[in-house]
Amino acid sequence: MLSIKNTRMEFVIVDIETTGGNPSNGGITEIAALIYKDGIVIDQYHSLINPERYIPGYITGLTGIDQGMVENSPTFAEVSDELLDFLKGRVFVAHNVNFDYTFIRESFRQVGISYDSAKLCTVRLSRKVFPGLGSYSLGRICEQLQIKIENRHRAFGDAEATAILFDKIYSKDGQTVLSSLKRNAGETFLPPNISKEKYMEIPEATGIYFFHDKNGQVIYVGKATNIRSRFKGHFSGNSKEKINLKSEIHDVSWQLTGSEFLAFLLELLEIKNLWPKYNKALKYKSSNWALYSYEDNAGYLRFQVSKNTNPQQALTEFDSHSEAWKFIMDKVKEFDLCPKLAGIQKSVSDCFDYKIKKCKGACCGQESAQDYNTRVNNFLDELQDQKGELLIKEEGIYPDEETALYFVNGVFAGYAFLNGQSMINTSEDVLNMIQKVKHLPETRYILRSFIPKIKSTKIQVL
């Protein structure tokens, strides 16, 4: 078996404290680095750093580093040459390495220095060499391996503990350390809590996927035509959100759809159902307004434009209050309806139109409910005629399969996977297989964007 001694390799174990935030706008407040070779620490570097920006109170509470402590400390620019000499030519090692490495590389970049190094993560290595532990945070794994940490959440104390942990990892399984350095290992982009084996299980197929935290809670929902490729894409870049997501993700699951259209629809449904913390905004506007009808105590059919709180009972839905208001005003004129009973005029007395003889008097009992409701029902019949049901056939998950997407009045209502070799022919047969979904008016926008791409032979109006 290979050993560190005969590889003549040097490792630099690094820990930093920061002001928080992401590498682009955060600052380093402390750096510690220990050179490890042949099983021992042969040199060390440690310095407080003036981040040249405000240190939040919660950071001071965690690390004990406040503004006064760093006021007379060197800036990163002032230590950059010395630090680069200490790091270059050595393998960069840290606990949750991407955080420390990305911060330091970005800090070098901001002072005009290019820094690139092979790196190792002691979280990932620990998972391989000490499997089955309850937690792989530095504090918990050191406790389980009886490693004492002096000055927790300070750079030098945490770097010393990480060096001892790294030594224990290598002493037990040096081959894992060395094989992890190989370029073709392909694991450097992976979050620390996702193994290469788990990554290789992710399908290169179309569907939706879920990121889970350590408690199994879904923290992100996405869609992709190649889920594995999309997974990798999540962890490139240095934004605060990507760094936080990388540290929080502990598992990934997925649901294949075959159809990209269905993936878009199910992603929206799952986001609206779960509201994961990393899905900040939906891409589709919500239909917040709707038209409702009810019968008053005198038997007159009335209308009301209001918030779309009960979409199953709405006559029709709108993107805005102004759109809904214009619609009902036009219909009042077209069907000779009473503005007051249509909800347009809010006066307690008769409507203004009756006074100028543009209303037949339903608002004040001068027109019978039967006569008035006849015109209202003509309007309701027109609305019903404009509604309809669609079945759209899409590719399935497997070559001999189809996906049926069911829409009612333009809103996604359900789906089914159909065996292409089966004898199912009629729309009634397909509808009996449909898996119903929650009514979300926003799915209308997905239908509008996809329907021009679908062959007319794949669309059936019911």
Categorize the per-residue pLDDT at 31 as very low, low, confident or very high, splitting at 50, 70 and 90. very high
Q: Is the pLDDT of residue 185 over 60?
A: no
pLDDT tens digit string along 331-368?
A: 999 999 999 999 888 776 778 888 888 899 888 889 99
| Three-class SS state of 428 | helix
pLDDT tens-digit readout, 196-212 = 778 888 998 999 999 99
Cβ-based neighbour number of residue 367 at 10 Å: 18
93 membership: H or E segment, kind and range: strand 91-94
- Report which of residues 275 and 235 the model is more confident about: 275
The pLDDT assigned to 451 comes to 82
CATH number given to 4-185: 3.30.420.10
Name the 3-class secondary structure at 442: coil
Q: Residue 409 is inside which H or E element, if any?
A: none
Calpha distance 84→67 (Å, rounded): 25
The one catalytic residue in 153, 212, 234, 250 is 153
Is 312 a residue whose pLDDT tops 80? Answer: no
Q: Which two tokens stand for residue 45?
A: 């570097």
When mean pLDDT is compared over 224-238, 296-310, 329-343, 437-451, the highest value belongs to 329-343
Where are the domains positioned within the chain?
A: 4-185, 196-274, 289-386, 389-461
SS3 457: helix
- Statement: residue 95 has pLDDT above 50: yes
Give the pair of three-digit tokens for residue 286. 């919500």
The pLDDT of 308-332, averaged and rounded, is 80
pLDDT of residue 382: 79
| pLDDT at residue 385, as a whole number | 64
Tens of pLDDT, residues 105-163: 889 988 999 888 888 999 989 998 999 888 888 989 999 999 988 888 899 999 999 99
- How far is 193 from 248, CA to CA, in rounded Å? 8
- Which whole number is the average pLDDT over 281-290? 63
Residues 165-184 pLDDT 10s: 999 999 898 888 888 876 44
> How many angstroms separate the CA atoms of 74 and 77, rounded?
8
- Report pLDDT for 352: 82
Calculate the average pLDDT of the chain: 86
Q: Answer yes or no: is pLDDT of 85 > 70.
A: yes
Q: Say if pTM beats, i.e. exceeds, 0.95.
A: no
Residues 127, 187: Cα–Cα separation, whole Å: 14
SS3 category, 371:
helix
Q: For 366-419, how does the pLDDT look when each residue is reduced to its tens digit (9 = 90+)?
A: 999 999 999 999 998 877 766 678 899 998 888 778 899 999 888 899 999 887
Instruction: Mean pLDDT check: name the lowest of 24-28, 301-305, 435-439.
Output: 24-28
> Does the CA dihedral 40-42-16-66 come out positive or negative?
positive
- Tokens linked to 203: 């399908």
| CA-based R_g, the chain, Å | 32
Number of Cβ atoms within 10 Å of the Cβ of 441: 22
CB 369 within 8 A of CB 299: yes
Confidence (pLDDT) at 5: 46
Fold of the domain spanning 196-274: GIY-YIG endonuclease (3.40.1440)
The predicted structure's pLDDT at residue 428: 79
Q: Helices (H) and strands (E) in the chain — how many of each?
A: 17, 16
Residue 153 is among the residues annotated as catalytic for this protein: yes
What share of the chain has pLDDT > 90, as a percent?
A: 42
